[in-house]
Structure 1
Amino acid sequence: MRRLTTLFPSEFLEEHAEELGVVERNRKTQMPALVWSFVFGFAAGESRTLAGFRRSYNATADETLSPGGFHQRLTPAFAEYLCDLVEHGIDEVAVPDAVGVDIDRFRDVMVADGTVLRLHRLLSDEFEPRRGEQGGARLHLLHNVTDQTIDRFNVTDEKAHDSTEFSTGSWLEDRLVLFDQAYFKYRRFALIDENDGYFVSRLKPNANPEITAELREWRGDAIPLEGDQIQDVVDDLYREYLDVEVEATFQRREYAGTQSYDTKTFRVVGVRDEDADDYHLYITNLPREEFLPADLATIYRCRWEVELLFRELKTQYNLDEFDTSKTYIV
C-alpha cells in the first residue's frame, strides 16, 4: 500500500483527474478513494461487483455516494484516467529515462506543469482555495528535463490556472516543450512555432481541427481523411498510426482594440492503444521526416519527469507541509 501511495500521491490523482476532465472542480468525488476502491477491490480477489466497489469507496471517503451517484462517476473519461495511471505505473517500474529517440537536436527538452500545496486555513484570503476553507497555493514550474533543473517557477493561489503562467518568447528557439491538456491553446502553439521552438501536447477531446492532408499513405480501401474533422473520423479508424496535417482557427491577441482571427497548420498524430480500442492523439509541429508517430509517443513520456519532481519535493522535502500562517514564508 505504501509503495502504491508513493507512486500515486493523492495530489497527483486529483490533479490528473482535473486535467482529463474526469470530475468537475466543484464536485465532491474523492479521487484517491475512488481509485483505491477499484485497485484493491480487484486485488483482493473478492466478487467484483459495483456494489462492492461502492461499499469500499464509502468506507474510506469523507462523504458517501448513493448507488446512482456512484454509477454516474463511472464514465469513459474515468476509464481513460485509469488507463493513464496504469501507463504511468509501467513507465515508473520500467526504465523511465530510456528514450530511444534522438532528442539531442534540441537545445533543451522542457516540461510545463503545476501542483497544489495545502496551506494554513488563515491564508485562505491570500491563497484562495478552489473549495473548502483551507488555503491553497499553486506552484507553477518549467522543468528542464535535459539539465534536470528548474528554469522558472511562480507561486499563485490555487484558483490560478497553469496555462496563464506560461509565457512565450524568443527563449523558445530550438527548445522542445511538452504540455498536458491544461496548456492547450492554438495561439500558444502558433507562437512557439513562430519563435522557432517545438512542442508536443495531447489533443483535447473537444479540439476538432480539419484535416488538410495525410502524411502517410495507406494501401487498399483505407478511409480518405482529407476534408474531415479529426474527432469525427477517429472512432472509425483501425490503422496502427494516424499521421495528418490539420488547420486550426484561433484568435490572436487584441491589438489596438481589434481582435483578429488567424489559421495555422499543425500536425496531429495518433498512436493506437489496442487495449483501450482508441488512439492517444498528440498535436505538434515536429516534422514527420525526423519524428515518426511512435517517436512522439516516446518523447511525450518525458513529461512524467515533472511528476517525479513534484513527488520528490513533497515526499522527501516536505514541500506540502506549510505549518505557518505567514504569507511571506510561503
Structure 2
Amino acid sequence: MALIPGKINPHEIEKVLNKMFSPEWLRETAAKVGYVQRNRKIDPVTFFWVLVLGFGIGLQRTIASLRRAYETASAETLVPSSFYDRFNKGLIAFLKECLAHGIADLASHASLTFSDKLRVFKDLMVADGTIIRLHDKLAEQFPGARGKAKLKIHTVIGITGNTKSIAIYAGKTAEIKTMRVGSWVKDNILLFALGYFKYELFSRIRRNKGYFVSRLKKSANPTIVSVLRDYRGNPVDIAGKKLKEILPRLKGEVIDVEVEVSIKGKVKKTEKDGAFEIYRPTCGTPKVKETFRLVGVLDEESKTYHFYLTNITPEQLSAEDVALLYRARWSIELVFKELKRLYQLDVISSGAPAVVESLVLVAMPTLVVSHRLLNHMRLLAPEKSARFTPLRWAESFYSIAPVIMTRVLKFIGIDEDPLLLIIYFMAEGVDPNVNRERLLSPWVKAVNSPGIRWK
C-alpha cells in the first residue's frame, strides 16, 4: 500500500501505544497496587513493555527469556533470583489493572461497525473458554479433569465494540459457571458454545434486554408452540408436538418455530460482583414455562438439521441469517489460536502459582495491544479494512513485536545505551560459576590485551 508523504506520522505506532499506556499511568498504577514501593533497577514502564512485547520469534515466555529481554532493553544486569521474585501477587494486581485499562481504551477505538442487518443492535459478542495445561505440581491450585493441573480462560469478546472480558478459573470449572449476566448485555447479541447451554441463562439475558444465539443440545426436546414461517413442505400440524417427534417428517430446508421449555421458577438478585449483577434461582420454586425461537437449517452435505435457539425475532433476522450469524462464533477461536500458537500461552512450564498466573495475564495485554494496533491500521486504510484479517494480523504483529517495543521505549526517552551489547554479553555470556572446571582449561589461557577493565 502506497502512503502519501506527509500524511502519515512516522511515529503513529509509538504514539498510539504510549497514549494507551502512558509512562505516568504505568508508574502511578504500579505504585498504587504496591508493586513498586521505590525505584530500584526495575522500572515499571520498561518492565511492562518487555513483558507485553519483548518475546522473540518461536520463544516461550520464560522468566529467563524475559530477564534477558529486560537487560537488553534497559542495559541493566539483574540477578536471576531478583528478577524471578518480581513475579508475585503485586505483579498480578498490576497486570489486572493494565488489562482493565487496556480493554477500556480498546473499546473506545472501534474500527468496524454493523451492516444494515444488525444496525438495531449494540454489539455482537462471543463467549467461550479454553483450557491451558499446567505443571503437575499445580494440580491442587488449578484442578482440572482427571486430576491434571489445568487452567480455564473464559473470554467474552465484542466484534465491533471491542469489548473484552477475561477471567481465569480452575480447569474443571463448568463453562456455565463462568458466565455472569447483568445490565451489560442490553441490546447486545451473545453467541454461545454448547457448554453454556442452559435455559435459565437465556432467560436472564432476555430479562436484561439482551439477545442470544446458541446451538440446541442434542438431548433437548422442546415443545413446539407455533410456526413462525410457512413454506412449501412445512408440516402444518406440528403445534403442541415435541421436536424429536416431528423431526422424521420434516422435508423443507428451513424450520422456524416458537418453542416452549421448562425453567426454574422465579429468580431473585442475591449478590453483586463489581459491575455485574449475579442472579440465582430461588430455592424450592417450581418450574415454569418460557418460550424461545427455534431455527433449523438443513445441512445439504449431511442431510441433518442444525438447530439454533434464540430470542431474536423473525422481523429482526430471518432464519437463514440466524444460522449465518452463528458462524461469527469462530472469531473467538481465532483469539485463542493467537494466544496459544503465537504468544505461547499453552506451554507455561513453571510450577509456581504466582508465576503461572502472571504469565497468563501477560498474554492478555499483549492481545489487547495487538488488537488496538489492528484497529488503528484499519482506520488509516479504511478501504482495506476488511482485508486486515485477525490471524494474518496476529502473525504480522508477533513477528515484529520486539521492534515495536524498542521504538515505544525510545519514543518516551528510554533509549539504548551505546554500550548495550557489551553490557549484555558481559552479563549473559559469562558463566556465573567462577570455580567450575572447564574442558579447555588445562590447554588454553586468555591473551593479554590492552583495553578497558570490566568490574
What is the TM-score when the length of structure 1 is the normalising length? 0.66
Partner of 2:314: 288
Q: 1:172 & 1:239 partners in 2: Cα distance?
A: 34
User: In 1, Cα distance between the equivalents of 2:239 and 2:229?
Assistant: 12
Matched, 1:195 2:208: yes
2:198 matches 1:172: no
Map 1:141-152 to 2 at 5 A.
141-150=155-164, 152=165
Seen in structure 2, the aligned counterparts of structure 1 residues 255 and 303 have a Cα distance that, compared at 3 Å, is: closer
| SS of corresponding position for 2:245 | helix
Distance of aligned partners of 1:258 and 1:313 in 2 relative to their CA distance in 1, 3 Å threshold = same
Instruction: Report the alpha carbon displacement of residue 101 of structure 1 after superposing the two structures with TM.
Output: 6.9
The verdict on how the C-alpha distance between 1:292 and 1:220 changes in structure 2, with shifts beyond 3 A counting, is closer
Equivalent residue letter for 1:266: F
Q: Is the 8 A contact 2:235 2:249 kept in 1?
A: no
More helix by share: 2
1:143 Cα deviation from its structure 2 partner: 1.2
Q: CA RMSD in A?
A: 2.2
1:140 aligns to 2:154 (yes or no): yes
Query: Match for residue 346 of structure 2?
Result: 320
Shift of 1:183: 0.7
2:256 aligns with 243
Aligned to 1:163: 176
| Cα separation, 1, equivalents of 2:298 and 2:179 | 30
Q: Answer whether contact 1:101 1:295 (CA < 8 A) is retained.
A: no
User: What is the aligned partner in structure 1 of residue 287 from structure 2?
Assistant: 261
Q: Distance in 1 between matches of 2:285 and 2:257?
A: 29
CA deviation map 1:70-121 (0-9, x unaligned): xxxxxxxxxxxxxxxxxxxxxxxxxxx9x97722321111111000001111
Return the match for 1:230 from 243, 248, 266: 243
Pairwise CA distance, 1:188: 1.0
* Residues 221 and 194 (structure 1), Cα distance of their counterparts in 2 relative to 1, 3 Å cut: closer
Give 1:325 deviation, angstroms. 1.1
The code of the aligned residue for 1:209 comes to P
Residue by residue over 1:171-210, the C-alpha shift from the partner in whole angstroms, topping out at 9 and shown as x without a partner, is: 1110100011111111111111111100000011111110
- Paired residue type of 1:302: A
* 8 Å CA contact 1:269, 1:281 repeated in 2: yes
Give the Cα–Cα distance (whole angstroms) in 1 for the partners of residues 319 and 283 of structure 2. 41
- Equivalenced residue count is 232
Q: State whether residues 228 and 258 of structure 2, in contact with CA within 8 Å, keep that contact through their aligned partners in structure 1.
A: yes
Q: Provide, for residues 203-257 of structure 1, a one-character-per-residue CA deviation record: whole Å limited to 9, x for no partner.
A: 1111111001001123578352111111221232120100000111111356664
8 Å Cα contact 1:101-1:299 kept in structure 2 = no
Bigger radius of gyration among the two: 2
Kindly indicate whether the alpha-carbon contact (under 8 Å) linking 2:222 and 2:243 is maintained by their aligned counterparts in 1: yes
Q: How far 1:327 moved relative to its partner?
A: 1.0
Task: Give distance in 1, aligned partners of 2:283 and 2:146.
Answer: 36
Partner of 1:68: none
Letter in 1 for 2:151: A
Alignment of 1:9-28 (within 5 A): none
Indicate the residue corresponding to 2:218 in structure 1: 205
Letter aligned with residue 129 of structure 1: G
In structure 2, what is the equivalent of residue 108 of structure 1? 123
How far has the Cα of 1:129 moved from its partner? 2.1
CA contact (8 A) 2:234 2:255 kept: no
Unaligned 5+ runs, structure 2:
1-111, 268-279, 358-455
Structure showing greater relative contact order (alpha-carbon pairs closer than 8 Å, 6 or more residues apart): 2
Counterpart of 2:167? 154
* 1:106-140 deviations in Å (ceiling 9; x for gaps): 1111111000001111101111121254x110111
The aligned residue for residue 127 of structure 1 is: 142
The code of the aligned residue for 1:156 comes to: Y
Deviation at 1:315, TM superposition (A): 0.6
The separation in 2 between residues aligned to 1:257 and 1:250, in whole angstroms, is 13
Contact 2:234 2:252 in 1 (8 A): no
Give distance in 2, aligned partners of 1:248 and 1:235.
21
Determine the C-alpha separation between the residues in 2 that align with 1:212 and 1:162.
30
Counterpart secondary structure, 1:233: helix
Indicate the SS of the match to 2:118.
coil
Q: Secondary structure at the match of 2:284?
A: coil
Mapped partners of 1:232, 1:153: distance in 2: 41
Provide the C-alpha distance between the structure 1 equivalents of 2:292 and 2:198, rounded to a whole number of angstroms. Answer: 12
Alpha carbons 2:234, 2:251 under 8 Å: kept: no
In structure 2, what is the Cα distance between the partners aligned to 1:221 and 1:154? 44
Q: Is the 8 A contact 1:211 1:228 kept in 2?
A: yes
* Residue in structure 1 matched with residue 15 of structure 2 by the alignment: none
User: What is the DSSP-based 3-state SS (H/G/I as helix, E as strand, rest coil) of the residue aligned with 1:328?
Assistant: helix
How far the C-alpha of 1:260 sits from its partner, in A, is 3.0
**Aligned counterpart in structure 1 of residue 302 of structure 2, from 234, 254, 276:** 276
| Contact 1:267 1:284 (C-alpha < 8 Å) held by counterparts | yes
C-alpha change, 1:179 and 1:221, in structure 2 (3 Å) is closer
Please give the secondary structure, in 2, of the residue aligned with 1:235.
helix
Sort the Cα spacing of 1:128 and 1:220 in 2 relative to 1 into closer, same or farther, 3 A: closer
TM-score (norm. length: structure 2):
0.48
The amino acid that maps onto 2:323 is A
Q: 1:225 to 1:265 in 2, by over 3 A?
A: same
1:299-318 pair list within 5 angstroms:
299-318=325-344
* Aligned partner of residue 102 in structure 1, secondary structure: helix
